[in-house]
Amino acid sequence: MPIEIESRRVGPITVVTCRGRIVEGDESRALQDHLNTVLQRSPDIVINLGAVDFLDSGGLGLLVRFLTRAKSAQGSLKLCLVPANIAEVLRITKLNTLLESHDTEAAAITASYHRATSPGPSFRFDADILCVDSSADVVAYARELLKQSGYGVVTAENAPDALTLLQAAQPKLVIVGAQLRATRSTRTTETFNRLADAIGVIELPADFSSRDAAAAAEQLLGDVRARLGR
């Protein structure tokens, strides 16, 4: 089947999900174009190969090439959910020692995050606050508002990604939308809210997105400063 590619941001990391075949020709060119765009936004990439049924030599070379480009940009490229047949190709070619792979997206994201925040010149992901809301517009507004006030912020738009970032980033404060805050019907949402409770939570009102922007900003920054200072 022709390759299908989609991506999403999980904090500062981009997860790229591929479906189909990664082979020389249109498929490789499509993935190359997509990764070129991703690298312009973030040098830290996780590629989910769980739904890829075939990878040829050209496709493997493309992954190695973008690993090199990500490292040159002080980032990383990691694989996850690698199918058994592709894992065997990586083993035979010994590229499994170069292309780091993980059993789950969460494990790959966590590994990327820990690499970037290890002591040394690669430190980039300073997370004082995790902000979570199902609205991309609310997340973008809160992220930039808090960054302009000097806070390090990572964001998510769903509970699984929020839980991954909560455990990886270990923020000092969690800002969460009312809908997710009220949801504890799954193991993921229950675990997220329980761990967030132990850190400290500011809940965004259900009508946050429709409030006057200046008033909403003043209220949110006031609540954050009361918890974190600055």
Using an 8 Å Cβ cutoff, are 123 and 117 in contact? Answer: yes
Q: Cα(176)–Cα(128) distance, rounded to whole angstroms?
A: 14
pLDDT of residue 121: 42
Using an 8 Å Cβ cutoff, are 47 and 59 in contact? Answer: no
Q: What is the pLDDT along the chain (230 residues), one digit of tens a residue?
A: 689 999 999 988 999 999 999 998 999 999 999 999 999 988 999 999 999 999 999 999 999 999 999 999 999 999 999 999 999 999 998 999 999 999 999 999 999 887 655 544 444 566 899 999 999 888 989 988 998 899 999 999 999 999 999 998 889 999 999 988 888 889 999 999 999 999 999 999 988 888 888 888 899 999 999 999 76
Left, alpha or beta for 170 (phi > 0: left; psi -120 to 50: alpha)?
left
Where in the chain is CATH 3.40.50.2300?
129-228
pLDDT of residue 13: 93
Q: Which two tokens stand for residue 25?
A: 């020709």
pLDDT of residue 114: 75
pLDDT of residue 125: 62
Give 193's Cβ-side CA count (13 Å radius): 14
Q: What is the pTM of this model?
A: 0.81
Nearest to 12 by CA among 122, 94, 97: 122
Q: Return the CATH number of the domain spanning residue range 4-116.
A: 3.30.750.24
Q: Return the CATH number of the domain spanning residue range 129-228.
A: 3.40.50.2300
Backbone angles phi, psi at 128, to 5 degrees: -80, -35
Where in the chain is CATH 3.30.750.24?
4-116
CA dihedral 142, 167, 101, 188 (to 10 degrees): -90
Using an 8 Å Cβ cutoff, are 216 and 191 in contact? Answer: no
Using an 8 Å Cβ cutoff, are 14 and 46 in contact? Answer: yes
Q: Cα(180)–Cα(178) distance, rounded to whole angstroms?
A: 6
Q: Cα(119)–Cα(176) distance, rounded to whole angstroms?
A: 29
Q: Cα(106)–Cα(117) distance, rounded to whole angstroms?
A: 16
Positive or negative: CA dihedral 173, 121, 230, 142: negative
Using an 8 Å Cβ cutoff, are 181 and 201 in contact? Answer: yes
